[in-house]
Structure formats: C-alpha cells, structure tokens
C-alpha cells in the first residue's frame, strides 16, 4: 500500500496530501479528521505535513508517534509528539502504546494539554483497561472471568450464525485470543490449547478451563 502512495505512503508527499484534502473538503460536507504517523521513513516528514493539515477544517488530528516503517516495533517517540503540539493548530489526539493504566498516566502527565486519547491494541488486549484507568483500581479476577465469558459466548454465538464449520469458528475465535491471552494465567499455554482444539467441544472446554483458572487467580 505504501509503495502506491496510499495510507502512510503519502506522508513523504505533502503536496499530494494538499491536493487530496483540497478535493475532499470542497466536495463533501461531512466532518473530517486525519490520523497520521510521524512519517514513512523519517520523523521529519510530519513537520511538512502538519502545516498542510492546518489549512483545512478538520475536526481533529490523531498522531501515532512512530514511523510507518516501524509497524509496531520499537517504542513511541514522545519527544516527536511533543514537537507536533507546537506545529498543529487542530485538536490533537494521542495514540500509541497505551496498554496499562501506568502507560496512560505516564503519557497524560507528559502531555497535560492533550485531553483526547485513542486506544487501539491496548483495548483489544484488555477490554477492562478504560474502567481501570477511570477507577484507579484493577478489575477483580473473578469479575474478569465472568464478563470475559459473557463476551466470548456472545461473540461466538454471533460468529456461529455467519461462519461455516467448526474449524472456521475456532480459527476466528482464536484471532481474538491472540490479543486476549494476556488476561489469562499462563496465557500462551492456554492460547496454544485453544489453537490445537480439533473440535468445538474441545475448544469450549479449553476456554472453560482457562476462565476457571482466571476466576481464582490472585497473581
């Protein structure tokens, strides 16, 4: 996609971003926001892009302070995000590596003027994250197990109505456990058991065992 100058592949070409936004903003009458990384291969690319974005009536700009070439490797560049605050005239939203309440505390204290946040992989991995941030307390293991089971069962029921065959259903559910396994005691082992299940009853038993272990977990 980036080789075709799509997505983050546009970042080295601010003139194309300008042309694109000029066309879009003069054509549609909807609220528009933009989400960007620091650049495709250089963090300096964003400094040429933000003045372009400032020219258009955007609702907000979300910045994930990594390079597109990094994917999700390495760490977010908080210094670069800080520099963006002085270049962007739109409401700025932070995104990137918000996995724990401690992560959020660290970044929100670093950027006290930012009051909007985008959570991504952190919520896939821990659906309880936002309430733990708001309450200042971890969710009890037994409550996690109960609510995770309800979520899992509802999700599986919905998929079962649309997917064909047990193997397809198990594979789709395991795609969620790829993120959620971190909630489970010995999550990687439980996840391997889910993936190795040869039948739906075997998969359901593996999940039941893992959630039962979680419900009494005190670690």
Single out the residue in 110, 135, 160 at which a domain terminates.
135
The answer on 121 and 206 residing in a single domain is no
70-92, pLDDT tens digit by residue?
999 899 999 999 999 999 999 99
Same domain, 125 and 171: no
Q: Which residue range(s) make up the domain with 94? A: 2-135
Average pLDDT of the segment spanning 131-157: 96
Mean pLDDT computed over 96-101: 97
- Residues 190-205: tens digit of each pLDDT: 999 999 999 999 999 9
12 and 110 share one domain: yes
The closest of 60, 82, 68 to 13, measured between CA atoms, is 68
The CA distance from 218 to 196, in Å, is: 27
Average pLDDT over residues 113-142: 96
Please tell me the pTM assigned to this model.
Answer: 0.88
Residue 199 and residue 148 share a domain? yes
Q: Is residue 143 over pLDDT 70? A: yes
Residue 28's pLDDT is 87
Question: How many domains does the chain divide into?
Answer: 2
Q: Are residues 128 and 151 in the same domain?
A: no
**Could you tell me if 39 and 119 lie in one domain?**
yes
By percentage, how much of the chain surpasses pLDDT 90?
89
Query: 60 CB contacts (<8 Å, ≥6 apart)?
Result: 33, 90, 91, 92, 93, 116
For the chain, state the CA radius of gyration.
21
The pLDDT, as a whole number, for residue 56 is 96
Give me the torsion for CA of 90, 38, 94, 32, rounded to 10°: 40
Domain boundary among 135, 153, 168: 135
76 and 148 together in one domain: no
88 and 189 both lie in a single domain: no
The residue out of 105, 135, 165 marking a domain boundary is 135
- pLDDT on residue 219: 52
């Amino acid at each position: 996609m980036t080789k075709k100058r799509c997505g983050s592949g546009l970042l080295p070409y601010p003139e194309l971003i300008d042309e694109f936004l000029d066309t879009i903003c003069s054509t549609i009458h909807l609220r528009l926001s933009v989400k960007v990384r620091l650049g495709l291969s250089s963090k300096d690319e964003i400094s040429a892009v933000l003045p372009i974005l400032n020219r258009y009536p955007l609702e907000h700009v979300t910045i994930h302070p990594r390079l597109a070439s990094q994917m999700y490797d390495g760490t977010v560049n908080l210094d670069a995000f800080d520099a963006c605050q002085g270049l962007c005239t739109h409401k700025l939203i932070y995104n990137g590596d918000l996995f724990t309440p401690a992560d959020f505390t660290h970044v929100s204290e670093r950027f006290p003027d930012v009051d909007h946040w985008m959570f991504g992989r952190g919520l896939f991995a821990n659906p309880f994250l936002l309430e733990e941030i708001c309450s200042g307390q971890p969710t009890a293991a037994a409550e996690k197990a109960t609510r995770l089971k309800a979520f899992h069962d509802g999700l599986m029921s919905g998929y079962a109505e649309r997917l064909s065959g047990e193997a397809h259903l198990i594979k789709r559910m395991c795609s969620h456990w790829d993120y959620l396994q971190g909630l489970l005691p010995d999550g990687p082992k439980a996840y391997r058991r889910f993936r190795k299940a040869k039948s739906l009853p075997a998969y359901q038993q593996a999940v039941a065992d893992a959630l039962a272990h979680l419900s009494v977990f005190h670690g």
